[in-house]
């Protein structure tokens, strides 16, 4: 995974500078300023308490930032968190079919018609927060491009999504499902370190780098039916991995006209 990401980064970096050479460098022009729309995507491995419940997950979502002439960044973002495998062994143990086939994302039940059915479970969540950061330019000729350091703080939430499509399991209908979903939320702090590139000829604008998120969360259900106790335990939820984004800058010209790149 890391080798593939590095290969993609080198190809994009090489193509970006090749096209800058074709259309001319930005010498004599200072760093630009204005709003930046971004679409982020990343792959994460869990750590600490998160690793005891979930496996590899993905994050994707929009972001909006403002870049100053001195390369400071201020903005906000929203990430969806999606994953497939769940490692909660006691999950719904009181209502599952005792003869089920073991699976990390599929549990079997006897439904209202007396039939055995499979109900998939997934990781679902989100993280939203405010960001501040800086781009450290590597070359004077390209003042907008360089090492991006971005810190985000905000609120995150995750749960086990129990997908009983036909609502055929009585014990999972209505509010009963809340007694099994392990709803968890709280504050988080995230650190991103990567390379940011903004072209002069409107073709390539991106960032690619490493990301680390630490969530200081707590279980939010008053009672879990399968383990017969409340879930108010405090947790340390960690996600770390690779993250990239494609940007649409809206930088201002000296005439204050908007330049879409």
CATH of the domain at 154: 2.40.160.20
| CB 243 within 8 Å of CB 193 | no
Q: What is the CA radius of gyration of the chain?
A: 23
Domain range spanning residue 212?
34-196+203-260
Going by C-beta distance under 8 Å and a sequence separation of 6 or more, which residues neighbour residue 70? 31
Domain membership flag for residue 114? yes
Residue with tokens 């450290």: 136
User: Has residue 214 been placed in a domain?
Assistant: yes
Task: Report CA-CA distances (Å) from 149 to 25, 124, 173.
Answer: 24, 27, 45
Give a yes or no: residue 234 inside a domain. yes
Query: Does residue 21 belong to any structural domain of this protein?
Result: no
Determine, yes or no, domain membership for 189: yes
Helices and strands: H and E segment counts in the chain: 1, 12
Domain tally, the chain: 1
Residues of the chain short of pLDDT 70, as ranges, are 1-29, 102, 202, 253-261
Whole-prediction pTM: 0.84
Give dist(CA 78, CA 208) in Å, integer: 18
What's residue 9's pLDDT?
46
Question: Is residue 5 a part of any domain in this protein?
Answer: no
Question: What is the C-alpha separation between 40 and 60, in angstroms, rounded?
Answer: 5
Q: How far is CA 31 from CA 1, 18, 182, 198, 255, in A?
A: 33, 20, 47, 10, 15
- The answer to whether 109 and 167 have CB atoms below 8 angstroms apart is no
Assess if residue 1 is contained within a domain: no
């Amino acid at each position: 995974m890391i080798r593939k990401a590095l290969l993609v980064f080198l190809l994009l970096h090489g193509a970006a500078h090749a096209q800058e050479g074709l259309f001319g460098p930005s010498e004599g022009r200072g760093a630009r300023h204005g709003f930046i729309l971004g679409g982020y995507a990343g792959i994460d491995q869990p750590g600490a308490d998160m690793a005891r419940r979930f496996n590899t997950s993905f994050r994707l979502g929009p972001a909006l930032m403002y870049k100053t002439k001195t390369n400071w960044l201020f903005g906000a973002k929203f990430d969806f968190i999606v994953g497939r495998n769940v490692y909660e062994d006691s999950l719904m143990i009181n209502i599952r079919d005792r003869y089920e086939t073991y699976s990390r994302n599929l549990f079997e039940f006897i439904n209202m018609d007396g039939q055995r059915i499979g109900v998939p479970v997934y990781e679902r969540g989100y993280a939203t927060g405010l960001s501040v950061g800086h781009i450290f330019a590597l070359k004077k000729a390209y003042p907008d491009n360089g090492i991006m350091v971005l810190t985000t703080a905000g609120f995150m939430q995750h749960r086990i999504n129990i997908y009983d499509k036909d609502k055929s399991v009585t014990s999972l209908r209505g509010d009963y499902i809340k007694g099994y979903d392990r709803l968890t939320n709280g504050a988080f702090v995230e650190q991103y370190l990567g390379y940011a590139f903004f072209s002069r000829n409107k073709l390539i604008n991106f960032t690619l780098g490493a990301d680390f998120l630490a969530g200081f969360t707590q279980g939010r259900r008053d009672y879990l039916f399968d383990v017969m106790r409340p879930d108010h335990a405090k947790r340390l939820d960690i996600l770390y991995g690779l993250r990239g984004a494609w940007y649409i800058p809206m930088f201002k010209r000296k005439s204050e006209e908007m330049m879409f790149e």
